[in-house]
Amino acid sequence: MTSHATLSFTSDNVAPVAREVLAAIERANAGTVHSYGEDPVTERLQAVAREAFGTELLVYPVATGTAANALSLACLAPPHGAVYCHEQAHVNSDECGAPEFYTAGAKLIGLPSPDGKLAASQLAAPLAHAQEMGVHHVEPAAVSLSQATEWGTVYTPAEVSAVATVAHGAGLGLHMDGARLANALAHLGCSPAEGTWQAGVDVLSFGGTKNGALAAEAVIFFAPERARAFERRRKRAGQLWSKQRYLSAQLLALLEDGLWLRHARHANTLAAQLAAGLVHAGLQLAQLVQANEVFAHFPAPLSASLRARGFEFYDWPAPAGTAVPLVRLVTRYDQQPEQVEALLDAIRSA
Amino acid sequence: MTSHATLSFTSDNVAPVAREVLAAIERANAGTVHSYGEDPVTERLQAVAREAFGTELLVYPVATGTAANALSLACLAPPHGAVYCHEQAHVNSDECGAPEFYTAGAKLIGLPSPDGKLAASQLAAPLAHAQEMGVHHVEPAAVSLSQATEWGTVYTPAEVSAVATVAHGAGLGLHMDGARLANALAHLGCSPAEGTWQAGVDVLSFGGTKNGALAAEAVIFFAPERARAFERRRKRAGQLWSKQRYLSAQLLALLEDGLWLRHARHANTLAAQLAAGLVHAGLQLAQLVQANEVFAHFPAPLSASLRARGFEFYDWPAPAGTAVPLVRLVTRYDQQPEQVEALLDAIRSA
Amino acid sequence: MTSHATLSFTSDNVAPVAREVLAAIERANAGTVHSYGEDPVTERLQAVAREAFGTELLVYPVATGTAANALSLACLAPPHGAVYCHEQAHVNSDECGAPEFYTAGAKLIGLPSPDGKLAASQLAAPLAHAQEMGVHHVEPAAVSLSQATEWGTVYTPAEVSAVATVAHGAGLGLHMDGARLANALAHLGCSPAEGTWQAGVDVLSFGGTKNGALAAEAVIFFAPERARAFERRRKRAGQLWSKQRYLSAQLLALLEDGLWLRHARHANTLAAQLAAGLVHAGLQLAQLVQANEVFAHFPAPLSASLRARGFEFYDWPAPAGTAVPLVRLVTRYDQQPEQVEALLDAIRSA
Amino acid sequence: MTSHATLSFTSDNVAPVAREVLAAIERANAGTVHSYGEDPVTERLQAVAREAFGTELLVYPVATGTAANALSLACLAPPHGAVYCHEQAHVNSDECGAPEFYTAGAKLIGLPSPDGKLAASQLAAPLAHAQEMGVHHVEPAAVSLSQATEWGTVYTPAEVSAVATVAHGAGLGLHMDGARLANALAHLGCSPAEGTWQAGVDVLSFGGTKNGALAAEAVIFFAPERARAFERRRKRAGQLWSKQRYLSAQLLALLEDGLWLRHARHANTLAAQLAAGLVHAGLQLAQLVQANEVFAHFPAPLSASLRARGFEFYDWPAPAGTAVPLVRLVTRYDQQPEQVEALLDAIRSA
């Protein structure tokens, strides 16, 4: 079950923990501290997150992205609420119903688009329909955007802001699933503030695990009044660590000197290198490569040949009418250009 | 918010991570592995747990005890089910309704006793009442025992077995909240098998965090057919780690060469030392000291004096009619006899 | 399975529908009307309920008392909330976890007392405990009182008011389960206003079915801001009737000319007659008889003899230490003094 | 808010109660009977339903179609389950999330088709995707078909059977939302058995309210082992009536001498008359008219003119790219050909 580090392009979560993160865990491992977040590491995380985002906020560390997303949505949507998202959003497709569980049955309404991005203009019709239907329909409560998207594309701040305007105008909260927020910001070159709260995000799932942490994400409330019930919801979900300093230390290590953005830039650069090489080799990309994911059409014999040499990557469900099969290749903070080159060499020789 | 390690007796979860556990995390931190538990560390955990308990089982690591308990109970009780437990059990009193959340609303029926232990004989009346009431009452589904109990007392295997006989006879599953199972086994001197499945336990919450882990517990199914829905429930709860090797490594470090039992014996010995010293100093114990918790009656001026010197411990709700206030003192794997002696010195001089 | 009407004392819900109620259903059965409550009968119910209670309110008809209670509590308590009630309250003991279902897992905390009444003074300790425990404990959210109680006793307005003062002072809402509110008011001789909102009740389950309706209860919000989510919760629970006029008509028939109070007075009078007869016959009452329920100690041979003659009534769980078995006898709007006398005759001759 | 009976074509639920149904309620209103379904009317309903469907079954009356559907699905799908249905199915669009509520968060996966019918061939891809995704995806648990559909079209027994074959082959249960089953059977001319269990339906929501009842539907289990948890789920949902005889009496009145099918044939005939008239008047139908619903394209001025004369009907969301607005016209058991003719006259003169 162990992959060869040099040959896996399956996901960012096959990576080990960054040495800076492990070092931070070790530094936190001195003496006793109060449990459940009443510790100095968590206190410092609060300050550092405020600085990184340039605003007042509340930051709550949890261990998984699914927990961060589901808790966020539970603070925005009542059980009889509707959450609008892209139909292939992680919250809708890959979390085994976690948002439904945490919200006590709210409905995720998935809207389609070819590039994984939800456009502000897609919201008008479903919001009008809900209005028309009254109590027979779930109540519009939130919009959730994935940044970067499941297709490796990135919303511009203007696009996020357009969605926020529609959402807020109709009384809905705006959640951002930022499991790969760092990759999106690295692509955009904008500040964390510009990419999130200044564009209208109310609650953010801030990703760490895919970006070098052991297991650390955070729910960040830019609209703290939305957090009222968060702490009990987190406890009740078994997501409140007694030894929270070890969660907070991981996030601190990523945030404190910009490591999170350096990691993301590195992974993005490798993805760009890979995409350019694929195109040069005559293969077709399925999506713009803006973060650390490459979606490309690989003829079946090519995939087979690469896998025979030990390379690992996922086949991906292709849109109807696609002739050549689709694959997903993910690059990571811990990879080197040589590993990308090795894959490209294998492709060229196949 | 940092405590002085030498002065805190508040809880076992203020302790740092044991160096063996951290070392295991570092050892696991090499190269890429498949995510979500398809890794060699988790595979090895399965084998080591089987060996430790001397039977076939399924072991699922999660990060918190609340998650372990709530997932366990959700596999035993339907939404319309009843779970019988001690009225002060952690699942009933200290988890902000996590079992109700994970089971989708099952009812915990707390039964009283002075020493924190649920006796088999206490089950007959509520089971008969449920039978009598039919569909108007929740359906008896599970019994949950805490080992050691919230009062630091320990069930004998015979006591567990007596409860199991009643539970199984009525078609209920038996869950054990083993957040402090190691302390209980260290007290009993029996094997893990004798203390659990041989006594009738179907599902066990196996504690690691209070015993030297960073954040690691496990749900262990001795009745694997009960686990059918476990994996999706875990995912849906945001409790499935992508980098699961780091959870499994912690549990392996505790289990592999008996570290978990050595830690527990050490903490128990300190508790016994503390209890003996308190009695010698003329103070009254409220409960038998069988694990690593000491409940004692401290006159208010004594508590105030100790706290003024920096010692930390909790006041504890006392049974009605108690004249002298009650406190809880917890000993830990990382403490030394000198620290206990320092507390006793302070008491004697107060 | 049919009982002899003359011989059943099991419950008020074995009774048929009052002829006035059936007549009202028939009157409502003319032509088409808009569905889902946009009908003139429901509009009139709103006005008549306002008049009966002498205040602004929102009234929502539903078909069962369990639905009324569970919807009420779901509007007062979040999933991580606590609802304080008598330990034998219908919501806690006889609804198969409906409040837990509708609230998505809130915790009912049952408090004991010998007469079925929750005293204001019983709330201080659990509220302080919750405060102390913080996020580890469910959040105090509501108090629920049953009027009349499960033991046939009745709160005075002053008693309700004392509970309301504590509840509101701690930020909790006050729910009243008024399945037998009419019987309580008939006993108290006070106005509906005095017995409910003037005493601090925020949300009322108003009972109709036990008092002559076919299937009709109502949730009445005296604090309309608490009703914000009610309409979607009702729909989502399958409790919104398309042909709502037939629900509303039943409640109108009861409310319009005081039929509900006449029915209740009648049933109460029969209970008083029964109680007096039992005492005269040397039997012991277990509770004050204030509404339409009589709890009495019947030696087993007496119960057997009565049942052999066709009389029907329930054995009732007796408090620990009770020597003579306990039975419950319920009187109804549709019974006559002769039927009570027949039972007393049978008792005297047994 | 009262409609003129002669002018409303909005829905089958604006109709009054059929006189046979009211008469049956009155007949049931004699004396006391045991509550909660232990009554002779309910016993007889069980026998009559068995006879009507020609097989062993369990029939459970409830008051609303939403309750029948949600309870049915909760017996088929776990909280981590997936229910496949047409994207416009009532369970997915018009019940404010009732299935999500009753199942504790299962996911409804809506599949599109122009005529409201789910084809067996549409299930392969989503089932394969779920298989591929493993624990990250909800677990396929049930398929729900609406008969007749939201678009007034009707599945043939062969079409139902094809879906059942795929569903059962993958371990899923098959639910039929038969709110308008009578209309579908009247169209098909097949027996209730042929249209339901012989075609593979496991659980049926049997509609009564739209077909002349006051408020009465039933959940019918053809696979009684699926019903294990039904009774407690019904109680817990506040859907168990204490005076159940009045629910059962309504269903008996419809079933006993074929009244349900006569009503449906009548409404279907009126719909056919209406459809023919519309076509003759040069208007375009949007769907085949197979039951009692007519979807037609009405130019906006036509709708306005009809409404000015008092006619009532709903605008309906039209598929993208539709030039002429869509309306829905529903015919009912209590209408007469003259009323349809009056509408057609108004159309012709507009």
Give me the residue from B93, B105, B129 closest to C100, CB to CB: B105
Host H or E run for residue A83: strand A81-86
Specify whether C109 is located in the same domain as C249.
yes
Specify whether B198 is located in the same domain as B310.
no
pLDDT tens digits for range D93-111: 999 999 999 999 999 999 9
The answer to whether residue D43 neighbours chain C at the CB level (below 8 Å) is yes
Specify whether C241 is located in the same domain as C272.
no
Please judge whether C229 and A138 are an interchain contact, meaning their C-beta atoms are less than 8 angstroms apart: no
- pLDDT tens, residue order, chain A (350 aa): 344 556 999 999 999 999 999 999 999 999 999 999 999 999 999 999 999 999 999 999 999 999 999 999 999 999 999 999 999 999 999 999 999 999 999 999 999 999 999 999 999 999 999 999 999 999 999 999 999 999 999 999 999 999 999 999 999 999 999 999 999 999 999 999 999 999 999 999 999 999 999 999 999 999 888 888 999 999 999 999 999 999 999 999 999 999 999 999 999 999 999 999 999 999 999 999 999 999 999 999 999 999 999 999 999 988 888 889 999 999 999 999 999 999 999 999 98
Contacts of D63 in chain C (CB under 8 A): 63, 215, 238, 241
C252 is written with which tokens? 């109108």
Residue C205 domain-assigned (yes or no)? yes
Give me the residue from C26, C40, C209 closest to D1, CB to CB: C40
pLDDT at residue number A319: 83
pLDDT tens digits for range D265-301: 999 999 999 999 999 999 999 999 999 999 999 999 9
Spatial distance between the Cα atoms of D58 and D224, rounded to a whole number of angstroms: 6
Specify whether A55 is located in the same domain as A174.
yes
pTM: 0.97
Contacts of C80 in chain A (CB under 8 A): 229, 232-233, 235-236
Q: For B237, which residue in chain D has the nearest alpha carbon?
A: D80
Q: Which domain holds residue B302?
A: 260-349
Give me the residue from A34, A43, A97 closest to B14, CB to CB: A34
Comparing C-alpha atoms, which of A254, A269, A342 is closest to residue A49?
A254
Query: Which residues 171-230 on chain C approach chain D with CB closer than 8 angstroms?
Result: 209-210, 214-215
Q: What is the CATH number of the domain that holds D62?
A: 3.40.640.10
Cβ-based neighbours of C267, under 8 Å, separated by 6 or more: C12, C183, C211, C291, C292, C331, C332, C333, C335
Residue A340 domain-assigned (yes or no)? yes
Rounded to 5 degrees, what are φ and ψ at C43?
-60, -40
Host H or E run for residue A326: strand A326-330
Query: Which residues 298-337 on chain D approach chain A with CB closer than 8 angstroms?
Result: 317
pLDDT at residue number D5: 55
Specify whether C174 is located in the same domain as C300.
no
Q: For D37, which residue in chain C has the nearest alpha carbon?
A: C1
Cis, bond preceding D281 (omega within 30 deg of 0):
no
Please judge whether A80 and C229 are an interchain contact, meaning their C-beta atoms are less than 8 angstroms apart: yes
Q: Which residue has the tokens 């966020």?
A: A72
Comparing C-alpha atoms, which of D40, D107, D42, D98 is closest to residue D72?
D98
Query: What chains are in contact with B, requiring at least 3 Cβ pairs below 8 Å?
Result: A, C, D
The upper half-sphere exposure of residue D139, i.e. CA atoms within 13 Å in the direction of its Cβ, equals 20
Specify whether D311 is located in the same domain as D209.
no
Residue A7 domain-assigned (yes or no)? no
Comparing C-alpha atoms, which of D171, D115, D170, D169 is closest to residue D145?
D115
Rounded to 5 degrees, what are φ and ψ at D41?
-70, -45
Specify whether D224 is located in the same domain as D291.
no
Spatial distance between the Cα atoms of D146 and D148, rounded to a whole number of angstroms: 6
Spatial distance between the Cα atoms of B165 and C335, rounded to a whole number of angstroms: 48
User: How far A161 CA lies from chain C's nearest CA (Å)?
Assistant: 29
Query: What chains are in contact with C, requiring at least 3 Cβ pairs below 8 Å?
Result: A, B, D
**Boundary residue ending a domain (B207, B232, B256):** B256
pLDDT tens digits for range D193-251: 999 999 999 999 999 999 999 999 999 999 888 888 999 999 999 999 999 999 999 99
Spatial distance between the Cα atoms of C62 and D63, rounded to a whole number of angstroms: 10
Specify whether D251 is located in the same domain as D284.
no
Specify whether A197 is located in the same domain as A340.
no
CB D163 within 8 A of CB D118: yes
Specify whether D229 is located in the same domain as D269.
no
The one-character DSSP state at B117 is P
Cβ-based neighbours of B258, under 8 Å, separated by 6 or more: none
User: How far A10 CA lies from chain B's nearest CA (Å)?
Assistant: 9
Spatial distance between the Cα atoms of B149 and A3, rounded to a whole number of angstroms: 43
Please judge whether D80 and A96 are an interchain contact, meaning their C-beta atoms are less than 8 angstroms apart: yes
Cβ-based neighbours of B321, under 8 Å, separated by 6 or more: none
User: How far A198 CA lies from chain C's nearest CA (Å)?
Assistant: 31
A206 is written with which tokens? 């801030």
Angle at B69 between CA B67 and CA B74, to 5 degrees: 90
CA D224 remoteness from chain centre = 21
β-bridge pairing C81-86 and C107-111: parallel
Residue C9 domain-assigned (yes or no)? no
Spatial distance between the Cα atoms of A294 and A332, rounded to a whole number of angstroms: 12
Rounded to 5 degrees, what are φ and ψ at D310?
100, -5
pLDDT at residue number A5: 55
Spatial distance between the Cα atoms of D343 and A104, rounded to a whole number of angstroms: 45
Residue C273 domain-assigned (yes or no)? yes
Query: Which residues 93-122 on chain A approach chain C with CB closer than 8 angstroms?
Result: 104-105
- Name the band, by pLDDT with cuts 50, 70 and 90, for residue D2: very low
Disruptive mutation site among D1, D17, D32 for chain C (greatest number of C CBs within 10 Å): D32
User: How far C229 CA lies from chain A's nearest CA (Å)?
Assistant: 8
Contacts of A11 in chain B (CB under 8 A): 35, 242
Give me the residue from D104, D234, D235 closest to B104, CB to CB: D104
Specify whether B251 is located in the same domain as B294.
no
Please judge whether B62 and A1 are an interchain contact, meaning their C-beta atoms are less than 8 angstroms apart: no
**Boundary residue ending a domain (A256, A291, A323):** A256
C53 is written with which tokens? 């209670």
Disruptive mutation site among A38, A235, A244 for chain C (greatest number of C CBs within 10 Å): A235
The upper half-sphere exposure of residue D180, i.e. CA atoms within 13 Å in the direction of its Cβ, equals 31
Q: What is the CATH number of the domain that holds B299?
A: 3.90.1150.10
Specify whether C232 is located in the same domain as C339.
no
CB C91 within 8 A of CB C68: no
**Chain mean pLDDT for chain B:** 96
Contacts of A107 in chain D (CB under 8 A): 97, 100, 108
pLDDT at residue number B6: 65
Residue C12 domain-assigned (yes or no)? no
DSSP B224-267: GGGGTTHHHHHHHTT---TTTHHHHHHHHHHHTTSHHHHHHHHH
| Number of domains within chain D | 2
Rounded to 5 degrees, what are φ and ψ at B295?
-105, 120
Give me the residue from D80, D231, D234 closest to B229, CB to CB: D80
Spatial distance between the Cα atoms of D315 and D332, rounded to a whole number of angstroms: 18
Q: Per-residue b/e over C60-69, b at no fewer than 16 CB within 10 Å?
A: bbbbbbbbbb
Cα dihedral D266/D268/D270/D276 (nearest 10):
-150
Residue D313 domain-assigned (yes or no)? yes
Helix segments in A205-258, DSSP class H: 230-236, 245-255
B275 is written with which tokens? 């209890």
Spatial distance between the Cα atoms of B239 and B64, rounded to a whole number of angstroms: 9
- pLDDT tens, residue order, chain C (350 aa): 344 556 999 999 999 999 999 999 999 999 999 999 999 999 999 999 999 999 999 999 999 999 999 999 999 999 999 999 999 999 999 999 999 999 999 999 999 999 999 999 999 999 999 999 999 999 999 999 999 999 999 999 999 999 999 999 999 999 999 999 999 999 999 999 999 999 999 999 999 999 999 999 999 999 888 888 999 999 999 999 999 999 999 999 999 999 999 999 999 999 999 999 999 999 999 999 999 999 999 999 999 999 999 999 999 988 888 889 999 999 999 999 999 999 999 999 98
CB A210 within 8 A of CB A204: no
CB B41 within 8 A of CB B35: no
**Boundary residue ending a domain (B206, B235, B256):** B256
Query: Which residues 1-20 on chain B approach chain A with CB closer than 8 angstroms?
Result: 1-5, 8, 10-11, 13-17
Please judge whether A29 and B15 are an interchain contact, meaning their C-beta atoms are less than 8 angstroms apart: no
The one-character DSSP state at C332 is -
B198 is written with which tokens? 């041989």
Please judge whether C229 and A135 are an interchain contact, meaning their C-beta atoms are less than 8 angstroms apart: no
pLDDT tens digits for range B274-331: 999 999 999 999 999 999 999 999 999 999 999 999 999 999 988 888 889 999 999 9
pLDDT tens digits for range D314-325: 999 888 888 899
